[in-house]
Structure 1
Amino acid sequence: MRLRQIEAFRATMNTGTITGAAHMMSVTQPSVSRLIADLEENLGFRLFDRKSSRLQPTEEASRFYQEVERTFAGIDQLEHVAERIRQEQMGLLNVFSTPALSASLLPSIVKKFHETHPKTEVRLDVRVPMEIFRQLQANTGDVAISNHAAELPGVVQEPLINAVFICALPEGHRLAAKEVITPQDLEGETIIGLSSEGPLNWNKIFKTFEDKGVMYHKWLTTQHAETGYAMVAEGIGIGILEPFSARRWSKIGVVIRPLRPKFDFAFSICFSANKARSSIAQDFAQIVREQLKNDPLPFQC
């Protein structure tokens, strides 16, 4: 029994005709007929009965086809694995990132990576943290930068930084004259809320305000810090936001000040626990670490 015979049988089952199978396999109809006849001889039972101009699979053929499909599913998986290996050999790096980090931290890192790996193709996939972790569990990514989460099966999280969040103010706001912002300073102000999604528990910030008796307005909530910065720039309210985007937004209508007491959240470099790390993935992770060391985030002390 040869693989080509099995392919001819499978193609005939899938198309319902010798003609369709021949077209699928890019061979002649007599070639398909010969392959199936040889397979029947090897198996010791008939696979098809001819009724009018159609082929009718026998009961034995239907049972045999189920096993063939299971076998080919494994072959398809091997092809996917081979494709990933070929891509790595050609220099393909699949990077996952959260929306905020993709627009703030990643551009300079990708630029530096390209300078040292000019032949490597980079695919940057932007997703929310829990979706990033699901992709790593499925072994579809090489490296990711995300908020740190509780221990997850199939995911390795290496600590990157505990980022201290900053206070973002509209230009001309009364609090822009202060060097440091405290919760009491925000009394009566509109605070742009961030949805408590994924591993970041944004609510701990607002609970602290409430515990201190600070009364504020919160009528606008968004799940992305970049949107929060844009709303601050428009003068809608004040944001307690991630610091990665702070310098860029300070050039386009946002005043950045430290908030005390500090609120910090952990970020990590992540890998799949079930996939060997490529050298280019490790190089990329090292550039990320060096970037944060050489260009520290604002107001982290």
Structure 2
Amino acid sequence: MRLRHIEVFHAIMQAGSVSGAAQLLHISQPAVTKVLQHAELQLGLQLFDRVRGKLVPTPEAQRLFIETEKLNRDLVAIRRLAAQLRSGGEELLRVLATPALGASVLPAAVTAWAKAFPAGRCQLATHHTREIVSSLLLGEADLGLSLQDPRHPGIHAEVLASGDMMALCPRGSPESRQDGALRLADLKSELIAMAEDDPLGHQLANAFAAQDLHPVPRISVQTYQLARSLVESGLGLSIVDPFTAAGCVAAGAAGERGPVVVRRVEPAISVPLVLLVPASRPLTQAGRRFVKLLTDSTRASLARLA
């Protein structure tokens, strides 16, 4: 018997009639009759006796029903799972992001996802890119978000959005009183720098060196969120990724002037938002929908910097 035969056979056994089986399966009565006839033809035996317009199971049908009960339950479970996968259902989505992205782009994306999929479940964690790659390869996460492409053969990387590094200037500082792009040579405030092993910090150091500038920061930090907090406290100026900067713009757009003025940096240093997934395990439907919401919310956030 084929799977479709078993499905129709069980529906008839449960409903006791062709019309009842058609209602259970959401198909027409002729379709049920056709499948039943084909099943009996393939088996070479009659499954039901037609008695005064009713279907009465034969002894052979009773035995088949017992033997195929578990398989039919499995089919029902598979259909239920397929429906959940199609809708986003109750599938668990495991997302990792670098600390900067966890504080900047994830909140808006997860908020939109939670509204769109009220039955969905999501686990969030922040790690550095190296740990994200390791977790993806071990099957401990479904997708990762980073500010760099790790260029690993086991990881598929895709740029979802990009922007330029921005200067966060404490309000009242010399840099905050001017408009337009801020040249690196014109920095006067105390520079709060990223640690030397940070990839974007390394790019920024190269940009300074290209202009024969060699600042010696007194304070360096490991995360852009900490850099933002120090700027907000008035300690100094910092140059951060565009996603962290967009959060400052959004925070100051609602009412009173915020403690930070955001300016573009010249020369421009482009920063991507990179989606990381295992090359051997494509994203599920729920994962693809999450990425779409993330991309839309991030691009809208970056547009505020224009």
**How far off is 1:235 after superposition?**
1.7
In structure 2, the CA distance between the partners of 1:201 and 1:292, relative to structure 1 (3 Å rule), is closer
CA contact (8 A) 1:94 1:142 kept: yes
| Paired residue secondary structure (2:242) | coil
Q: Show the counterpart of 2:183.
A: 182
- Are residues 1:221 and 2:220 paired? yes
Q: Show the counterpart of 1:260.
A: 266
CA contact (8 A) 1:164 1:299 kept: no
Q: Show the counterpart of 2:297.
A: 291
Q: Deviations over 1:76-108 (max 9, x none)?
A: xxxxxxxxx9x9874211011111111111111
| Paired residue secondary structure (1:168) | strand
Q: Show the counterpart of 2:166.
A: 166
C-alpha separation in 2, matches of 1:189 and 1:296: 25
- Once the two structures are aligned, what percentage of the paired residues are identical? 21
Q: Show the counterpart of 2:255.
A: none
Of 266, 271, 275, 2:277 maps to: 271
C-alpha separation in 2, matches of 1:191 and 1:294: 29
CA contact (8 A) 1:182 1:261 kept: yes
The total of aligned residue pairs comes to 214
RMSD of aligned residue pairs (Cα, Å): 2.4
| Paired residue secondary structure (2:182) | coil
CA contact (8 A) 2:163 2:302 kept: no
| Paired residue secondary structure (1:206) | helix
| Paired residue secondary structure (2:228) | helix
C-alpha separation in 2, matches of 1:194 and 1:269: 23
In structure 2, the CA distance between the partners of 1:284 and 1:196, relative to structure 1 (3 Å rule), is farther
- Are residues 1:131 and 2:137 paired? no
In structure 2, the CA distance between the partners of 1:152 and 1:238, relative to structure 1 (3 Å rule), is same
**How far off is 1:247 after superposition?**
3.9
Q: Matches of residues 1-301 of structure 1 in structure 2 within 5 Å?
A: 90-179=90-179, 180-186=181-187, 188-197=188-197, 200-214=199-213, 216-250=215-249, 251=252, 252-299=258-305
Q: Show the counterpart of 1:21.
A: none
| Paired residue secondary structure (1:94) | strand
C-alpha separation in 1, matches of 2:281 and 2:202: 35
CA contact (8 A) 1:133 1:155 kept: yes
Gaps of 5+ in 2: 1-80, 253-257
Q: Show the counterpart of 1:22.
A: none
CA contact (8 A) 2:144 2:277 kept: yes
**How far off is 1:163 after superposition?**
2.5
CA contact (8 A) 2:92 2:121 kept: yes
C-alpha separation in 1, matches of 2:246 and 2:207: 26
**How far off is 1:215 after superposition?**
5.3
TM normalised by structure 2 equals: 0.64
Task: State the one-letter code of the partner of 2:267.
Answer: P
Task: State the one-letter code of the partner of 2:247.
Answer: R
C-alpha separation in 1, matches of 2:282 and 2:269: 35
CA contact (8 A) 2:195 2:222 kept: yes
**How far off is 1:150 after superposition?**
3.7
